Amino acid sequence: MYPMIKIEGVRHAYKTKSGPLPVLDGLELSVDEGGFVAVVGPSGCGKSTLTRLISGLMKPDEGMVMLHSERVTGPRSTVGMAFQNPVLLEWRTILDNILLPLEIVPTKLSKKEQQDRARYLLSIVGLEGFEEKRPSELSGGMRQRASLCRALIHQPEVLILDEPFGALDAFTREDLWQTMYKVKEKEPFTGVLITHDLREAIFLADQVVVLSGRPARTQYVLDVPDRGPADLEHLYTPEAAEMLAILRHQIEIAQGRAPAEGEAA
């Protein structure tokens, strides 16, 4: 299959007052068109930095970031992003919040078509009837659903999700995982999910990439077998337990709490 995202030999250091802070060191990543990769790793290892590189908000010191075989050299409108804090504008209705990206990204849709698309997206995530509400009238989970619609309104090829469910309670989070399946089925995208939740990673992604501690490199890649329709029961199978154990072990290695294979304990 065609790689939609290709990252090769990326190295990057932030310039800080106390000197360069190496954050990424030899990062490799390849995500097929329509694929969904979850990126996990120790806190502060460089996961969000990776999302900034893919969306073109930052350029790496070394190496290549490619989208659709084109080198990323600046911000890309074909990328949609959703974050842990949805940041919806309180003075705008939910519908107008979702339409916001279309005020920036060029679109061929008429005003009516834009509104129809926003309403359609809201119906997919279960927010039909909330179009005219203000963000403060919605729960945290509902605001996150609205933020997903906003990230998808301009039909991005790539959807970057930076810990979007991290601040939600466990039940709401699991509800949103199932919503994500529905969204991907109706609005196909190539996804990159940054998360600290290993269950979330194996439930949503078809590949989980473990980054090493900072400066991060690609330490381990786990392929998650296709498990059919969204069903939380998938998380309670022996196969899921085994995948979670492997990932936990890899995170311990990345945190320096367990020796890497081939190293003495």
Ligand X SMILES: Nc1ncnc2c1ncn2[C@@H]1O[C@H](COP(=O)(O)OP(=O)(O)OP(=O)(O)O)[C@@H](O)[C@H]1O
Give me the residues that bind ligand X (CB under 6 A), please.
14, 16, 21, 23, 43-49, 214
- What are phi and psi for residue 170, nearest 5 degrees? -60, -40
Residues 6+ apart with CB under 8 A from 61: 11, 12, 13
CB-nearer residue toward ligand X: 21 or 170: 21
CB-nearer residue toward ligand X: 45 or 168: 45
Task: Report, in Å, the least distance between residue 196 CB and ligand X.
Answer: 7
Task: Report, in Å, the least distance between residue 1 CB and ligand X.
Answer: 28
What does the block give as tokens for 64?
């290549």
Task: Report, in Å, the least distance between residue 88 CB and ligand X.
Answer: 21
Cα 126 from Cα 120, distance rounded (Å): 10
CB-nearer residue toward ligand X: 43 or 73: 43
Task: Report, in Å, the least distance between residue 209 CB and ligand X.
Answer: 12
CB-nearer residue toward ligand X: 45 or 198: 45
Task: Report, in Å, the least distance between residue 240 CB and ligand X.
Answer: 23
CB-nearer residue toward ligand X: 187 or 200: 200
Residue 215, preceding peptide bond in cis (omega within 30° of 0): yes
